[in-house]
Amino acid sequence: MLFAEAILSIVMEIASLFGLAMTRSDYNTPMNKTPFSLAPEYRDYVWGGARLRPEIVPTAEAWIIYAGNRISSGPYAGRVLAELAEDFGTDLLGTRAIARTGNRFPVLVKILDCAQWLSLQVHPNDEQAKKLEGEGFFGKTEAWHVLESEPNAKLIVGIKPNIAAETLTDSIRSGTILDKVESLEVKAGDTLFLSPGTIHALGPGLLIYEIQQTSDLTYRVYDWGRPETGKRKLHIEKALAVSNSNVTTSVLHAPQVNDGDVKTLAQCEYFKLETIFAEKKTIDLDTLGESFHGLTVIEGQIQVSAGATLPGTARQGKCAPHATSSRRFFGSAGERETFILNKFETLLIPAICGAYQISPLTKSRVLKASV
C-alpha cells in the first residue's frame, strides 16, 4: 500500500507539470486504513489562559480536528486533512458525511481555555450563513462538553423568559444586554447543545471541548468593554438578523456510566458526540463505513488497535516529527496497528478502517466525534 501510494504521488506530480489536475479519486485508489494523529492549530485570543500551551500565554483555543490540520503520523504524514478529504472522499469521511457536505470535512473540534469572559456572540444557521456571507458558507450548530471547571464558573446561554424581540433588539444596540441573558453554573462532565440563534458566552475558569459544524462564523454582540480592532469587531446588524430569543438550552449532567459504556452526549443532523468510559474492559467499535471517528482522551491512557487481529509481538515504530506524544506500534504478523493515547491526545479513525478496539491502560474517559 505504501509503495503504491508513493508511485501514485509521483504520477500526480508529473501530471501537474503538464497542467493536469488529478486526484487519487481519478484512479479509484482506496485510502490506507491506518488511523492517524493531527497536529493541533492554536489561536491566541485575548481571553485565553495557560493550560493549552504554558509556554505561550494567552493561548485560547486548540483546533484539534478540522480541515486545516496537518497530519502528523502514518502514511499521509505532512499532508493537510482537507486534501485527504478531497482525494479519498467516502473512504475518509464516510457515507453520512458525503451525503451532507460532500468532500468537505464536516466538523470542527476545539479545546477552549477560558481565563476571561468570551464575547457575547451568536451564530447563524445554514440558510442565514448563505444569505449573509454567500455561497459555500455553513451555519454553526455546536455542543460544549465541560472538561474542567473552577468553583462558581459560569457561562451564558440564551435569553431570559418573556423578553420581547423589540426589547432584545434595543438592548443589543445599546450594549445593555447583560441583564437580559441567562447565566448558568456548570461543572466538569456537563454537556450543552447550542442551536444557531442562541446568544451565548463562556466564562472564566472553564476548559471546554467544543464540536461544531465546519464553520467558524461568529457574530459578536457584546465584548465586555474591550476596544474594537480590525480583528475583533462587533457585528451588531448580523447578530440582530440571526438572534432568536426563543431558543433554550439545557444542561446534560454527566451520565452514570459503567465500565465499557458508550453513551451519547449530543446528536443532531451535523454531528454526534459520545462519551466512552473504560476501566478494565476492551471496547469494540466500528465505523461501518458511515463516518470517521475522532477519539480524544480526556482522562487516563488508552490503547487503540485497528486492522487485522492477527497475533504478533508488537514493536515500537517512529512517529512523524510533528506527531503528538502518542506512540505507534506495528504487529509483526499482520496489519494490526496499535496506538497509545494520553490525556488530550487525539486519533482520527478513517471511515474505511471499520472495526477497531479501545483498551484502557488506566481508568479512562474518551470523547468520540463523528457525523
User: What pLDDT score does 158 carry?
Assistant: 97
Distance of CA 21 to the CA centre of its chain: 30
Average pLDDT in the chain: 89
Residue 269: enclosing H or E segment and its boundaries?
none
| 326 is a domain residue | yes
What CATH number corresponds to the domain at position 350? 2.60.120.10
Kindly state the average pLDDT of the residues 344-360.
Answer: 98
Q: Are residues 79 and 226 in the same domain?
A: yes
pTM as predicted: 0.88
Percentage of the residues of the chain whose pLDDT score is greater than 70: 85
Domain that includes residue 81, residue range? 31-252
* Banded model confidence at residue 60, pLDDT cuts 50, 70, 90: very high
State yes or no: pLDDT of 3 exceeds 70. Answer: no
Please confirm whether the linkage preceding 161 is cis (ω < 30° from 0).
Answer: no
Size of the chain, expressed as the number of residues it contains: 371
Tell me the pLDDT tens digit for each residue of 192-246: 999 999 999 999 999 999 999 999 899 999 999 999 998 899 999 999 999 999 9
Residue type, 319: C
Q: What is the DSSP string of 161-172?
A: TT--HHHHHHHH
Q: Are residues 56 and 181 in the same domain?
A: yes
| 38 is a domain residue | yes
**What does the block give as the cell for 17?**
507539470
3-state secondary structure 328-343: EEEECCCCCEEEEECC
| DSSP assignment letter at 118 | P
| 236 is a domain residue | yes
Tell me the pLDDT tens digit for each residue of 313-329: 333 333 332 334 444 44
Last residue of a domain, one of 252, 282, 306: 252
Percentage of the residues of the chain whose pLDDT score is greater than 90: 83
Q: Are residues 13 and 75 in the same domain?
A: no
Catalytically annotated residues: 220
| Residues in CB range of 18: below 8 A, 6 or more apart | none
Tell me the pLDDT tens digit for each residue of 251-291: 999 999 999 999 999 999 999 999 999 999 999 999 999 99
User: What pLDDT score does 307 carry?
Assistant: 77
Number of continuous H segments (helices) and E segments (strands) in the chain:
7, 25
Q: Are residues 35 and 104 in the same domain?
A: yes
Give yes or no for a contact between 291 and 370, defined as CB atoms under 8 angstroms apart.
yes
Q: Are residues 235 and 124 in the same domain?
A: yes
Last residue of a domain, one of 231, 252, 273: 252
Q: Are residues 26 and 40 in the same domain?
A: no
* Residue 36 β-bridge partners: 348
| 16 is a domain residue | yes
Residue type, 135: E
* Banded model confidence at residue 336, pLDDT cuts 50, 70, 90: confident
Edge to edge, the sheet with strand 364-370 lists 262-267, 272-278, 364-370, 293-299, 346-349
| 366 is a domain residue | yes
Q: Are residues 205 and 322 in the same domain?
A: no
Q: Are residues 284 and 246 in the same domain?
A: no
Tell me the pLDDT tens digit for each residue of 41-53: 999 999 999 999 9
Distance CA 261, CA 189 (A): 15
User: What pLDDT score does 8 carry?
Assistant: 55
Give yes or no for a contact between 120 and 223, defined as CB atoms under 8 angstroms apart.
yes
Edge to edge, the sheet with strand 154-159 lists 181-185, 154-159, 200-202, 120-122, 219-222
Q: Are residues 195 and 336 in the same domain?
A: no
Tell me the backbone φ, ψ of residue 183, rounded to 5 degrees: -115, 145
User: What pLDDT score does 326 carry?
Assistant: 41
Give yes or no for a contact between 345 and 366, defined as CB atoms under 8 angstroms apart.
no
| 80 is a domain residue | yes
Q: Are residues 159 and 299 in the same domain?
A: no
Last residue of a domain, one of 252, 277, 309: 252
Tell me the backbone φ, ψ of residue 157, rounded to 5 degrees: -140, 110
Q: Are residues 302 and 365 in the same domain?
A: yes
| 212 is a domain residue | yes
| 257 is a domain residue | no
Tell me the pLDDT tens digit for each residue of 126-155: 999 999 999 999 999 999 999 999 999 999
Domain count, the chain: 3
Q: Are residues 76 and 20 in the same domain?
A: no
